[in-house]
Structures are given as C-alpha cells and as structure tokens.
Structure 1
C-alpha cells in the first residue's frame, strides 16, 4: 500500500540520510529557502513516499503562482531510492494527485519529473529533457581527460595549448559584485536570441544557496571576463546551472578550457560527478543544438526522469492549454 507521510523539509533530508541516500539539491532545505526568495514562489510541503511503511521516494514541492493561478513544481522529484516500475510510479502519482487535490483546492496541476508518461501530459511551459551528460570526475585530472570522447580530449588539449584565457574559481569575487559577469550573459542573449533574467535572479541565487552550494567559475583574457558558469553543489554532485560566453571569445576555445578547468576545480572540492544538464532528442528537439558540445566530454548519455504536468483541475488545465494554442496561432 502506498502512503504519503507529510514532513517538513528538514525531516525529509534526515529521512533520506537515514537511507544513505543523497537528495538532489532541488529537494533540500537550502533549495526551498532559495525558492522562497523568488516572487510568486513558496515551499508548499514535502512527503516521504512509502510502501508498507518503508520509504520508496522523497518529494519536496514548491508552490508557483503565475497569471492568477497556482501549481506545484518538484524538480528531480520524486527522488526514488530505486528505479520504479511503470505500475509503481503510476500508483505513487495517483496517491500524490489525490493528496494535493484534497489539501489545496487552488492547485491547477502538479509538475513533477516522471520516468513514464502515466497520467502526465507534456508541460504547459518550460523545456524539459529526459537525457543528460554526466562527467565522472573520479581519479583526477588525467582520468577525467581519458574518459572523454576522442574529440573532447583533442579539443581540451588544443584549448590548453592555444587558449589565452585564465580559468579560476571566482566565487568570492562574483558574490561581491556580479555585474561584470552579467554583461557576458547579456551578450550571450543577444547572440543566441533570448532575453536574460534580471541581474537580481543570479545574485539572489548566489546569496540564498551560499558558497557551500553555489560556485562561480570564470575565464578571463587580459583581466576581462569572457566566460563563466554558475554551478550548484550538493554532496558529491555538481550541476552546471548557467553558463555564458562573450561572442568575441568564441573562436578562442574558451568553452573547452573553462569546462575542463571546472572539472578539475570540482574534483579538488570533492565532487565526483558533474552534470551538464539536458541534451536534445525527439523528446526535447529544441535542445539538440547543445549536443555537439556537451556529448564530447563523456561517452555516456544518462536517461533522467522528465518534467511533465499532471492536471489536478482538468477543466481549468484544458482552458490553459487552449489559451496557449491560441496565443501561438495569433503570433503567426
């Protein structure tokens, strides 16, 4: 029998620790505190998902308010102790949906990461992915290089010889003043056709997560920042959350030099696995442009649970999807 034990986020972390299980950072207390600093978001609650009173998975939910309605999001949740069967995941999602509908009539849907389609529908917004690249950092600098594809190893070695950039952990400097790094993101946005989030989004993330969980690595040429990454860390896992590169540095192999330097610096910090986040495929075609760069650093492509929506108020949710389709038609 599937049961949901309602706990606070600290109790969730303690329960995971007692199972020798490391939660993704997005399921932890520090992440919940960070989300609480963002307008329109607040921690909703947490559950230990159990079968016959034994933990199966853990989930921390964040309430999002947007365009006058509410939904809950759990990034990398449920976090399963063991990979679920389709039947088991369906049972858990049904139990979760029932609990949420009873507890909060305002919620229109829940967005969780699922392994199977089950009760879920494609997300109303954002770009989910079901594959990622994770670089193993075990064994140190040379072993990291050895495990790369031939092309990745060649490009890194070329960057080490020819790239004029110096790559450093600039966490302290970035926490004091992020403006010079933000200029690089603005330049990246102009080149790649997106509008970057406000400067405060990045500084709020740094401030809320703190230096133990959020680092900034940067590449400089003649003292000028030409590229940088914001990396989250929790336990032995780091995730490359944001990255930016100046257009006039694209030909210098800065991206290869910086990413390998990040691997080495993270190894020195005790990290064993470095997640580059999503790549593209038929599930996430808009991300295919990332594949050439990311996949050369590892021979393994890792399947992950993908963000999907589960309607809690189906009529309201259908109205939202209809409105989205209409907006798309009107744009064209």
Structure 2
C-alpha cells in the first residue's frame, strides 16, 4: 500500500466524491479547533492507495503528553473501500513506515481499527468502545422518533415530559455570550461523576470554530433554571452528542430524558437524520457499562464501530510505556 500527503480539505472532498459520511473529527474545521487545545497540533493528512486506486484518507493530530508524542486519528482512517483485516494491516504497516521517515519523535499512532490486526495493541489509556447507540431521526416527526425508542425509553420520556416542567431550546448564542453558567453545570457533573472537565475555553472554541452549522448547544431549563445541556456536533446529516452535563435538582428526576428527546427534535429540524450518543459498554469496554441503562433505551438496536487501537512506531519505547502503566495500575 502506498500513501502520500494531502490537505485536510482533500479528506473532505474524497468522502464527498465517494458519497461517504465523514466524521466531524476528520474535517478541516475540527483540525483547526483541536489545534487550539494545549499540547495538540494538526500533524497532517494522508491518502492511501492500493493497486493504483484510493482506499482510505485520514487526518491526524499530534498529541504531546508526559514528554512524548503520539498521533491521534479520530474515527480514522475513513475507508473508501471495505476495511478487511488484510487491508487494515497493510495500511498500518505503510503508515508506520511513513511516520518513521517523516517524524521520528512519534511513539505510536492511535486510530480506529476494526480488526485485531498484528500491528495493533489495546490502547494505553482512554476508554475505547466498539458499539454505540444511534437514534434514528429520519422524517423528524416527534411520534415517529419516539416510536423507535425501546418501550422503557418511550415510558421514561413521556414521564419526564409530563412531570419535569422542563423547556429545552437551542442556546448556542447564549452560551457564546456567557459560558459561565453552563460551565458551572459541567463542574458539578464532573465532581459528582469523578472526572475532570476540560477548560471552559475548549467548549467555547468548539462552538466558535466549528460554527453553528457544525456545533449546537441545547439546554434544558426547569422554572428558568439551567438544569442540563448538551454540546452536539454535526457533519452532513449526522449529529453526535459530544458533551453533556446535568445538575442534581431536589425533587426532580430523569429530566435529561426529556432533554435528549427535545434535542432530537431540534436536530431533526436542522436536517439531521441520525443522533449518535457516543459509546456504550460491553466485554470490550466493561468500564462503560454504566452508560448502557441510560443510552440504550433511546434505540432498539446498537451499532458496531471500529474501536481505537494503538499502532506502535517505536516498538521498544512503547513496551516501556506498557510496563510503566502496569506498575502504576498495581
């Protein structure tokens, strides 16, 4: 397999030429946005060819952490042909050879790999997933969308709509004017669930740089008080729930169910036909199983996706990183 450098704009063009959906993380705007985050830089984009015909394209970010660098291809490569195990292995080997020549400081590549190929390893960090929940928004009618939920999803949404007295709206403009109230809800969510929020600037930059065509913030309010919000990214007709935050309100439960449903209607009104809730747990990703009860009620089916895997470039250094992680995890 051969590869050559292209522009981020060319990645978008190739997807359009093959009538393929493009993950928003593979757009030129996303590369610009993520480059505003500390220790992340747009590294470049490449096209892969096999027997003279294009088979995949990808954009990569350079991540610097703990004194070393690795490349991150979010939902990449974008395959223009079916990604068999042999093709994925050939691509991985060609990419490693290319990266070694071009950028010797890169330790490994983290990208989406459907099959467990010889060149891949389980990721050193983060929580990859190989299944997600995608809500069908096609036709955009409230009853039609609700009918595609599981029975308990329909029940919970109706109960939430009836009892929460919640109003949900697109508050993208308000969030850009003053993100502090929304960030306070995220901080509360993180303190409750045990993780650290990104700096407020990262959320604002996402909204600004992606723009209203690619990023919308929807929010739920109860008696005028901000109760929850979601930052949704859009590419073509596909929407993704990228971030979500909610408060604990005394005497009010399950109001996020209504927000998810109303957000579906807002996104459908913008022309979106699918809404990805981003990852659930299973034997591949058991640490995400806590998300399943909530997310899976919004669809009768789950969707398989290629999970992130690591492709070592510096083999000995990567082994050392794995060894250090094993010691840390003891």
Query: Which TM-score band (shorter chain)?
Result: over 0.9
Q: For the residues of structure 2 that align with 1:187 and 1:42, how far apart are their CA atoms?
A: 30
Seen in structure 2, the aligned counterparts of structure 1 residues 17 and 86 have a Cα distance that, compared at 3 Å, is: same
Match for residue 16 of structure 1? 15
Match for residue 157 of structure 1? 158
Aligned Cα root-mean-square deviation (Å) = 1.3
Seen in structure 2, the aligned counterparts of structure 1 residues 50 and 250 have a Cα distance that, compared at 3 Å, is: farther
1:122-271 counterparts in 2 under 5 A? 122-140=122-140, 141-248=142-249, 251-271=252-272
1:260-299 counterparts in 2 under 5 A? 260-299=261-300
TM-score, structure 2 length as denominator? 0.96
Please tell me whether the aligned partners of residues 165 and 254 of structure 1 are also in contact (alpha carbons under 8 angstroms).
yes
Seen in structure 2, the aligned counterparts of structure 1 residues 308 and 249 have a Cα distance that, compared at 3 Å, is: farther
Match for residue 88 of structure 2? 89
Offset of residue 53 of structure 1: 2.5
Query: For residues 187-229 of structure 1, what are the alpha-carbon distances to aligned partners after superposition, in whole Å with 9 as ceiling and x for unaligned?
Result: 1112112222222221222222222111100001121111000
Match for residue 74 of structure 1? 73
Q: For the residues of structure 2 that align with 1:317 and 1:63, how far apart are their CA atoms?
A: 16
Match of 1:247, SS state, is coil
Please tell me whether the aligned partners of residues 191 and 247 of structure 1 are also in contact (alpha carbons under 8 angstroms).
no
Match for residue 65 of structure 1? 64
Q: For the residues of structure 1 that align with 2:205 and 2:251, how far apart are their CA atoms?
A: 28
Q: Which deviates more, 256-265 or 182-191?
A: 182-191
Q: For the residues of structure 2 that align with 1:312 and 1:89, how far apart are their CA atoms?
A: 16
Offset of residue 16 of structure 1: 2.1
Q: For the residues of structure 2 that align with 1:39 and 1:198, how far apart are their CA atoms?
A: 10
Q: For the residues of structure 1 that align with 2:295 and 2:244, how far apart are their CA atoms?
A: 12
Seen in structure 2, the aligned counterparts of structure 1 residues 308 and 239 have a Cα distance that, compared at 3 Å, is: same
Please tell me whether the aligned partners of residues 26 and 75 of structure 1 are also in contact (alpha carbons under 8 angstroms).
yes
Q: Which deviates more, 18-27 or 293-302?
A: 18-27
Match for residue 116 of structure 2? 117
Query: For residues 223-253 of structure 1, what are the alpha-carbon distances to aligned partners after superposition, in whole Å with 9 as ceiling and x for unaligned?
Result: 1111000000010101000001101268432
Offset of residue 72 of structure 1: 0.4
Offset of residue 89 of structure 1: 1.2
Offset of residue 321 of structure 1: 1.4
Q: Which deviates more, 316-325 or 250-259?
A: 250-259
Match for residue 49 of structure 1? 48
Query: For residues 165-201 of structure 1, what are the alpha-carbon distances to aligned partners after superposition, in whole Å with 9 as ceiling and x for unaligned?
Result: 1111101101111110111111111211222222222
Q: For the residues of structure 2 that align with 1:136 and 1:298, how far apart are their CA atoms?
A: 8
Q: For the residues of structure 2 that align with 1:231 and 1:43, how far apart are their CA atoms?
A: 22
Query: For residues 24-51 of structure 1, what are the alpha-carbon distances to aligned partners after superposition, in whole Å with 9 as ceiling and x for unaligned?
Result: 1111100110111111111111112222
Offset of residue 272 of structure 1: 0.5
Match for residue 325 of structure 1? 326
Please tell me whether the aligned partners of residues 240 and 277 of structure 2 are also in contact (alpha carbons under 8 angstroms).
yes
Q: For the residues of structure 2 that align with 1:242 and 1:268, how far apart are their CA atoms?
A: 20
